[in-house]
Amino acid sequence: MPSVALLCSMAVLAAVLIGVIRSPGQRSEAVWAVPGALLVVAVGLVPLHVALTTMRHLAPTLAFLAAMFVIAHVADRAGLFDVAAAFLRRAGGRGMGALLAAVAVTAVLVTTVLSLDATAVLFTPIVVAATRHRTDRNQALLATAFLANGASLLLPVANLTNLLAIDQLGLSFPAFAARMALPTVTAAVVITVGCRVLAPAADVSGLVSGSGQPLAEPDLEPGPERGGGWSTDARWVAVGLGGLLVAFVVASLDHIGPAPVAVVGAAALAIVAVTRGLTGPRAVARAVDPAFLAFVAALGVVVAAPARHGLTSAVADRLPAGTGLLALLAVAFGAALLANLVTNLPATLVLLPAIGAHRPAFLLAALIGVNVGPNLTVTGSLATLLWRKIVRRDHVEPTTGAFFRVTLVTTPIALATATVALWLSLQVV
């Protein structure tokens, strides 16, 4: 029977998550998590030294997140997302299949290089603009949300869950990518095909803007005032991003974590961007998003409470024996279930100590579960909540029926096939 401490800890975690879910995208997540963290420390559910240790453990991850926020801001100001918009407009003129393929490829690329949050926050508005008046927009919009999560497996930088696990795995960037390449491709293909086949047509009649005025038909051809070409700024930022990925790989081979590399890269890109007049120091400082960083740190402390009082040991006791395919499937689906119950970040913080470093195959399967699995519900991932806020604001949100019609079929299949792909990769690698 659960202890009183575990029940109280779970109640605090539930209250924080409900608050976050009810106010997605407002960057008010810290308003819920910080008081929760202070509460669990004040009542003794988490000793102060444990809370400080937790935050020290998260410090490199927080530094990396801050750096990636700045890099995404510079990429946006330099026009890389205008290039993506022009790409989608051209693809849209060739038909439904071409547009969905363009959305999928771009979503996977943005997620892999800039993280799933960049896909949710920066790429989603581009997809909305390109598909607003199309009957097939549900395909593209759902693919954007599902691929933000499901395609965030290839590199550690793609998802905070990967970053939390990479030190415990003890893998370099190339070694991690070698194991996760086939699962990423498999999940992305299943998700894209599922959206193509299962997403219902959208009703495009009577669309209105936020001011209540009818929306004009979009200009599908990029004009000079809208940009979309490879400007000098877009080119140098793209080269900088390529160099940063190479630096991540080289540093990981020397057992240097991604945080210092990302911080140096972000500082260099920001300095050049400010010098070229693309952004300003205040905008760069806002891009760091200290409120969200505070939310992640505080959530780590909140999750430490149920973890200390029995949740981690309960998960560890239920891990399957062996490391065969069936065991990997059990871990992946179990992690997916936990992610949909408490969202993917708290689920990862519970799973990592439960699995431990001595079973890397289980850790990789768990990452598939907490990355792909959250697609099953809107609340499984913060990225999906941010996506929902944008499509709801622009009056193009797919219906609940459309969302579940796609995800109830594609998510279990993507989970299973990605896990089988991982098992096959491990036989080779």
Evaluate if residue 211 carries a pLDDT over 70.
Answer: no
Predicted local confidence at residue 23, as pLDDT: 66
Question: Inter-axis angle of helices 160-169 and 173-198, to 10 degrees?
Answer: 150
Predicted local confidence at residue 394, as pLDDT: 87
Average pLDDT in the chain: 88
Predicted local confidence at residue 206, as pLDDT: 57
Predicted local confidence at residue 416, as pLDDT: 98
Nearest to 255 by CA among 322, 187, 369, 173: 173
> Which segment of 179-188, 375-384, 397-406 scores lowest on mean pLDDT?
375-384
User: Each residue of 367-377: b (16+ CB within 10 Å) or e?
Assistant: bbbbbbbbbbb
> What does the pLDDT look like over 130-184, one tens digit per residue?
898 888 899 999 999 999 999 999 999 899 899 889 888 988 899 999 999 999 9
Gap between the Cα atoms of 209 and 230, Å rounded: 30
What is each CA distance from 151 to 18, 112, 203, 380, in whole angstroms?
A: 26, 7, 28, 15
Counting every residue, how long is the chain?
429
Evaluate if residue 28 carries a pLDDT over 50.
Answer: yes
Confidence of residue 210 (pLDDT cuts 50, 70, 90): very low
Residues 341-350 have a mean pLDDT of 88
> What does the pLDDT look like over 223-282, one tens digit per residue?
333 455 788 888 999 999 999 999 988 988 888 888 899 999 999 999 999 999 999 999
Evaluate if residue 423 carries a pLDDT over 90.
Answer: yes
Predicted local confidence at residue 207, as pLDDT: 55
Report angle CA 381, 290, 308 to the nearest 5 degrees: 60
| Residue position matching structure tokens 């299962």 | 198
Evaluate if residue 386 carries a pLDDT over 60.
Answer: yes
Q: Are 79 and 238 in contact (CB under 8 A)?
A: no
> What does the pLDDT look like over 76-100, one tens digit per residue?
899 888 888 888 888 888 888 899 9
Beta bridge partners of 214: 208
Read off the tokens for 246. Answer: 């190479």
Q: Is 277 exposed, middle or buried (0-12, 13-18, 19+ CB in 10 A)?
A: exposed
Q: Alpha helix locations (H) across 93-156?
A: 96-114, 116-118, 124-131, 137-150
Residues 48-67 have a mean pLDDT of 90
> Which segment of 72-76, 247-251, 321-325 scores lowest on mean pLDDT?
321-325
> What does the pLDDT look like over 122-134, one tens digit per residue?
899 999 988 988 8
Predicted local confidence at residue 1, as pLDDT: 61
